Amino acid sequence: MPHGDEAEVTIEEAIDFGLKTHEDGDLGTAESIYSQILEVDPKNSTVYHLLGVLQIQTGKLLDSLSSFDYAIEYEPSMAEAYGNKGLALQKLGRSAEAVEIFQEAINHNPEIADFYVGLGSALDDEQRFDEAIKVFNKALTLEPQHADCYNNLGLVLHKLVEFDKAVLNFNKALAISPEFGEAHTNLGNSLMILGRVEEALSAFQTATKYLPETARTQFNIGNALQKLGRLAEAVEAFEQAKQRKSNYRVLHCLYSLNKKQAFTEKINNVLKEDPTDRAVAAVSAFASNQWQIDDPYPFCKNPIDLIYVSNVLNTKVGRETIKALKDYFQEGHYRELPDQGHISNGKTSLGNLFDKPHPSLAGLYALIKKHVRAFVSKNSELDAGIITHWPENWRLEAWYLKISSGGQVEPHIHDPGWLSGTLYLNIPDRITGNEGAIAFGLNGDQMPIINNDYPSKICRVRTGDLVLFPASLFHSVLPFNDKEERLCVAYDVIPTL
């Protein structure tokens, strides 16, 4: 323990010295002081709590849990130890446990707003959004000027597609804390979806002043600039960002600017980094077609040739899976969200269906895996990256899509996926022609069309059809008019490390 000039300091003085060192940012020295105190006083709950906080700051999250447990063992009513243990659990991705621990903190001291904010954030992680909103509102009754709470409430509302309310809460956070970089970024994200692009750009640019790591914000700036038609500036922002979709966005802008040489140079550079970027494959295929040059990107040069369709109602397992899924969705085992931008007159489920185990979903998972294997086997001789680089490990993500009369889906791709697909639970019998069909083509994402004669295909799907196609292929749903709803489950095969 630290010593004075003539006599050893008291435990209280040592704690004060350790805390000051801790607050001054000398974490190594502070940790040493706390450890020395515990050698002398091994049941000091205050020091265990301070040590746990320090361990969170230094990334020693599992160690911090032990420290908080000791603090609670020696002082069971220490609400702060419960609250900080909840934070550590959340950082470890153990949000369900964090919910319970934050509730313990509130039970011991129901007047601390931060405990409710932590609980609300953990509930958000658990997709218990309605409960999270109630908890955040409770925190604001205790501390009306809590910027973090307004920001977290805005994030939940954004996920629930209530973008106007999200903007209101982000602005409240910024009125309290104008230098809150994350809130500026979150505000920009909601404004972008609302089509208020100039305001979003301003929010993203302001965020760069306050965030230590601005790569994500630079990407957002690029998106806004691209939407505003300021493509040369967008290229610069995307190049600085170096995010997952930066290469795609740069190539999209270069194609739109008709800069063939720069586009080709960029493609060649991307090839050295990653020959399997599905979004890059999409823009490369279309640009090459429009400029009438060979497609240099090897992932899947002719994606329309790989569309796979099989009707599962031909088998007992398929019929049982379709029925079980219809029952599952009719019983409401999911959260439904309205249109999120590219869907008209439609609603989707929230998150990955497979995150919540259920026998009906287990049957769906097995059915998709069977047909994915059939797809790979059918195309095993194909000299294309989609097959030659087929991921050794992959997982499935799925979501429910319900489209009503007059609805449609604009062309899009699922580039996190490797292979995309749909299982149709109900296609109205009375629709005619190409109504409600799935349309495939090389064009999408508002890429300028030079020549309308590019590869495309329309599949008139039926109830029970299971469709698979390369994730680099743009696809859409054509409008239809019928009182009966068009129901399906969409899914992606996603590579995992």
pLDDT of residue 310: 97
Token pair for 184: 């500026």
φ, ψ of residue 454 in degrees (nearest 5)? -115, 155
Alpha carbon separation from 312 to 316, 325, 480 (Å, rounded)? 8, 13, 23
pLDDT of residue 77: 95
Taking residue 226's Cβ as centre, other Cβ atoms within 10 Å add up to: 22
pLDDT at residue 1 greater than cutoff 90:
no
How far, in Å, CA of 330 to CA of 325, rounded?
8
pLDDT of residue 220: 96
pLDDT of residue 330: 93
Average pLDDT over residues 382-389: 96
Is 304-495 in CATH node 3.40.140.10? Answer: no
Average pLDDT over residues 445-454: 95
The alpha-helical segments, DSSP class H, found in 298-358 are: 316-330
CA-angle at 124, arms to 122 and 125, nearest 5°: 65
DSSP per residue, 2-55: -B-SSSBPPHHHHHHHHHHHHHTT-HHHHHHHHHHHHHH-TT-HHHHHHHHHHH
Strand partners for 344: 408
Average pLDDT over residues 170-181: 98
How far, in Å, CA of 366 to CA of 372, rounded?
10
Range(s) of the chain covered by CATH 1.25.40.10: 11-227
pLDDT band at 342 (very low <50, low <70, confident <90, very high): confident
Q: Which residues contact 358 (CB under 8 A, 6 or more apart)?
A: 328, 333
Cβ–Cβ under 8 Å, residues 352 and 399:
yes
Cβ–Cβ under 8 Å, residues 353 and 489:
yes
pLDDT band at 6 (very low <50, low <70, confident <90, very high): very low
Alpha carbon separation from 135 to 97, 108, 138, 351, 459 (Å, rounded)? 17, 16, 5, 22, 47
How far, in Å, CA of 426 to CA of 432, rounded?
15
pLDDT band at 209 (very low <50, low <70, confident <90, very high): very high
- State pLDDT tens for residues 278-317: 999 999 999 999 999 999 999 999 999 999 999 999 999 9
How far, in Å, CA of 232 to CA of 225, rounded?
9
Where does 11-227 sit in CATH, by number?
A: 1.25.40.10
* Helix-helix angle 246-256:231-241, to 10 degrees: 160
Range(s) of the chain covered by CATH 2.60.120.620: 304-495
Cβ–Cβ under 8 Å, residues 310 and 318:
no
CA-angle at 261, arms to 257 and 265, nearest 5°: 110
Taking residue 430's Cβ as centre, other Cβ atoms within 10 Å add up to: 10
- State pLDDT tens for residues 104-134: 999 999 999 999 999 999 999 999 999 999 9
